[in-house]
Amino acid sequence: MTVNKNRDTVFTGSHDGCITSWDVATGESNRIGGVGHGNQMNGMVTLGESIFTCGIDNAIKEVNIMTKSFTNTNIKLASQPRGLAGNGTTLIVPCEKEVGSKNRSHFRYFPEDGTKVDACFSNKVGKLSLNFTFNN
């Protein structure tokens, strides 16, 4: 679940990969158009005028908030994403075996030998926390 920057629309994801927008004032709901994930989403975060999602299809997708539709963005990941974290300009994607970062139009991996990577970004203090559980 995420909200737009005006906090007047809530976006929720479902087990079938669909996203629904909810008008906070009226409760009206609408499905987001376009091709999304074919199955469960593991994370959703708002960055500017876009929503980025990740799913168990090992992909990151983008939704244009203004048009309420999926864009053509389809970033394939090397392993299962465990969620998303962001600070408004940078997207962090903790995956089973690596961490990915998207800033503007660039996507990079930071390979690690660890698994079970979790990420959390604190907008109040501007810090990213990563937790790695390593295989021995």
In the β-sheet with 29-31, what is the strand arrangement from edge to edge?
2-3, 9-13, 19-23, 29-31
pLDDT confidence of residue 85: 78
Q: Which residue has the tokens 């409760």?
A: 27
Domain interval for residue 46: 2-134
Q: How far apart are CA 68 and CA 64, in angstroms?
A: 6
Pairing of strands 59-64, 50-55: antiparallel
| 27 φ/ψ sector (left φ>0, alpha ψ -120 to 50, else beta) | left
Of 6, 73, 5, the residue nearest 45 (C-alpha): 5
pLDDT confidence of residue 22: 97
Number of domains in the chain: 1
**What CATH number should be reported for the domain holding residue 96?**
2.130.10.10
68-116 pLDDT, tens digit per residue, is 999 998 888 888 888 887 776 778 787 777 766 665 444 454 444 444 4
125-134 pLDDT, tens digit per residue, is 455 555 555 4
